[in-house]
Amino acid sequence: MPTTPIFGKKNVLVTGGAGFIGSHLCERLLKEAKVICLDNFVNSNVRNIEHLLQLPDFEFIRADINQPIDLDSFKELEKFKVKFQGVQEIYHLACPTSIKNFEEFKIETLQASSVGMCNVLELAVKHKAKLLFTSSSVVYGGRRANDKYFREEDIGLVDQLSPRACYDEGKRFGETMVETYRQTHGLDAKIARVFRTYGPRQRLFDGEMVPDFITNAIDGKDLVIYGDENFRTSLVYVSDLVDGLIKLMKAQRNIGPVNLGADSDVKIMEVAEMIVKLLGSKSKIVFEPSLLFLTELGVPDIRKAKEFLGWLPLVRLQDGLKKGIDYAQAQKTLVGIG
């Protein structure tokens, strides 16, 4: 398969493309490519991509990465001449992530991190495509008491037998698979270690505190923090993250893992207070026990992204929250639906 497009725009595959981050990535990539969005809707939603479905350079395929993927078999991709041109880039985001319903998707998560990862890598080998794998900050383990910043060269500490190991250790194994395929097949393969991200299209009422804060504040309901008043995290706005992913795909070969996230540490209680203030809401902030899949994570050291990608987050937290509020208010009739 050609590594450069022979019929104009390049073909780009986004697995998990109907998810929160994936849908924003698809939308952005349409500025420069023909986009194939692959998803099985395990915990994503067609509403995220409805506005893209009628665009000539966008095509959705309902498929499961845990099954072998043969793009040539999809008649709807004939318009992209995939049989002749192949795909030039693959952004691999597909992996179930549900905070409140984590137990429900454990097997799917385990399979996506192993069988699914293998299927996507084999597809990249077949098409000689560049590949970017969205790993996670969880590969570093929990926040350290003596140093909150995580650097790419840090060796993480993860309990491979913990109740959430299918995701945490799964992402680590995914990185191992990507690196092994890079070494053995010469793939141009990149690893993005993504830190906590927020913005429009996040799933509601699934434990993602920022969108739930906004929705509840609009309705005058309590804002629930799963933890205590000291719960801290970093928050990067989704458009900044997407910009980083695209820059990383274009970066030099063999760059190694790159942290993508906000290098500022914020108290989640202050975020909640900011949302209440922005909305002029009378909502109260309450605390509930921590959730298994919602923990304090470290803060990314992003010097590598700045130096090699020319990337850093540009959207201020207050501005990002305003965008999230605008989206939630516009979608108010859909509140409560996935």
Catalytic annotation, residues = 167
- Backbone phi, psi, residue 164, to 5°: -115, 15
Helix residue spans in 128-237 (DSSP H): 165-185, 209-219
**Could you tell me which of 239, 235, 259 has the C-alpha nearest to residue 318?**
235
The per-residue DSSP string of 145-166 comes to: SS--EE-TTPPP---TTSTTHH
Q: Is the dihedral of CA 81, 84, 90, 93 positive or negative?
A: positive
Length of the chain: 338
The per-residue DSSP string of 234-259 comes to: --EEHHHHHHHHHHHHHSPTT---EE
Q: Which residues pair with 39 in a beta bridge?
A: 62
Q: Environment class of residue 160 by beta-carbon count within 10 Å: exposed (0-12), middle (13-18) or buried (19+)?
A: exposed
Q: List Cα–Cα distances, 40 to 45, 146, 217, in angstroms.
A: 9, 41, 32
